[in-house]
Structure 1
Amino acid sequence: MNTELAWFKSSYSVDDGACVEVAAGPCTVHIRDSKDISMPSIAVTPASWASFVAYAQVAPEAG
């Protein structure tokens, strides 16, 4: 069985490397900093990820 995760970046990512990468596992969603992929990732439940994405879609832009 292949346990390698398929990481991807958002289409909103910028070229300077300032973004995160996400990979879906069988029971978790993994998140890591794209600038240093050797650092550990965090894993959250799919429900937690869905809540975050829903919040991020309606949250005002920072800055």
Structure 2
Amino acid sequence: MTKLTPEQCIILTGFTGILHGEFEGFHEDLEKRLGRDVQTSELGYPEFIQECRELYEEDFNALMPD
């Protein structure tokens, strides 16, 4: 079995809302994608999690095997 890369962990975290890997890497990537600072408390809001899911959906789908 091949381990996930840090980038793949970030994508899975953003799409599923379940932390895979290091939080710091995900948080940094999320802020970059949103173009703003993100307070960790925002991650407790379902609407915000849905917004995150949409940001990562294309990358998540690209992880699927051919």
- Judging by fraction of residues, say which structure has more strand: 1
TM-score (norm 1): 0.30
Q: Which has the higher contact order (CA 8 A, sep 6+)?
A: 2
Which has the larger Rg? 1
